[in-house]
Amino acid sequence: MEQNNYAAKKMAKQEARAERGQKRSFHNAVKTFSFLGALAALAGLGIWYASSGPAAPQDDVIAQNGMHWHAQLAIFIDGKEQEIPANIGIGITHNPMHTHDATGEIHLEFSGLVKKDDIKLGKFFALWGKKFSSSCVLDSCAKDEKTVKMLVNGKHSDEFENYIMQDKDKVEIRYE
């Protein structure tokens, strides 16, 4: 009988030890899961903060949460209006600055942070693969007595490629 008691006590101790081991394993799993969850939450918070905060000085920021603007562009070489092709900036990747048709309407469809540099008129010409400055437009560069002139909403502008486009702008560039 004493052997049965001894065996029963031994078995009870083993069961208690196994139960403590299972509890310890469960608690360790909960701690690990909690730690990984907290780590993932912190990483997500860091990514959100980095993407939502301005990466540029505040005076360079046009919009924090994207924008959808349109500017109208017309180019005249020796009095003849030049075509601005459809689908500039649209291809394998969809550039936020683009055209849909040949009307000269430039779409500025940005998500997230938008800086002044992002919407400069010179960026559109670079995207198009054409020249534009105070001395050149498309393939025409100032020579002899011809010059490049730019009007924005009917007013003379000397900003040329550095002009920061605005919603509903009407930009006219003339080489004459």
pLDDT tens per residue across span 31-40:
666 666 655 5
Domain housing 159: 59-175
Identify whether residues 30 and 114 lie together within a single domain. Answer: no
Average pLDDT over the chain reads 84
pLDDT at 65: 94
Position 119 pLDDT exceeds 90: yes
Identify whether residues 105 and 159 lie together within a single domain. Answer: yes
Identify whether residues 72 and 140 lie together within a single domain. Answer: yes
Are the beta carbons of 114 and 149 closer than 8 angstroms? no
pTM for the model stands at 0.67
Identify whether residues 75 and 26 lie together within a single domain. Answer: no
Residue 103, token pair as written in the block: 């009307």
Identify whether residues 95 and 145 lie together within a single domain. Answer: yes
Identify whether residues 72 and 136 lie together within a single domain. Answer: yes
Supply the CATH number for residue 123's domain: 2.170.130
Residue 163, token pair as written in the block: 């002009």
The pLDDT-based confidence of 95 (bands split at 50, 70, 90) is very high
Mean pLDDT, residues 124-150 taken together: 94
Identify whether residues 167 and 87 lie together within a single domain. Answer: yes
Identify whether residues 84 and 168 lie together within a single domain. Answer: yes
Total structural domains within the chain: 2
Report in angstroms the alpha-carbon separations of 137 from 44, 119, 142, 159, 175.
46, 18, 9, 14, 7
Residues whose CB falls within 8 Å of the CB of residue 43, separated by 6 or more in sequence, listed in order = none
Position 48 pLDDT exceeds 70: no
What is the rounded distance in angstroms from the CA atom of residue 3 to the CA atom of residue 45?
62
Identify whether residues 47 and 67 lie together within a single domain. Answer: no
Identify whether residues 122 and 145 lie together within a single domain. Answer: yes
Identify whether residues 112 and 81 lie together within a single domain. Answer: yes
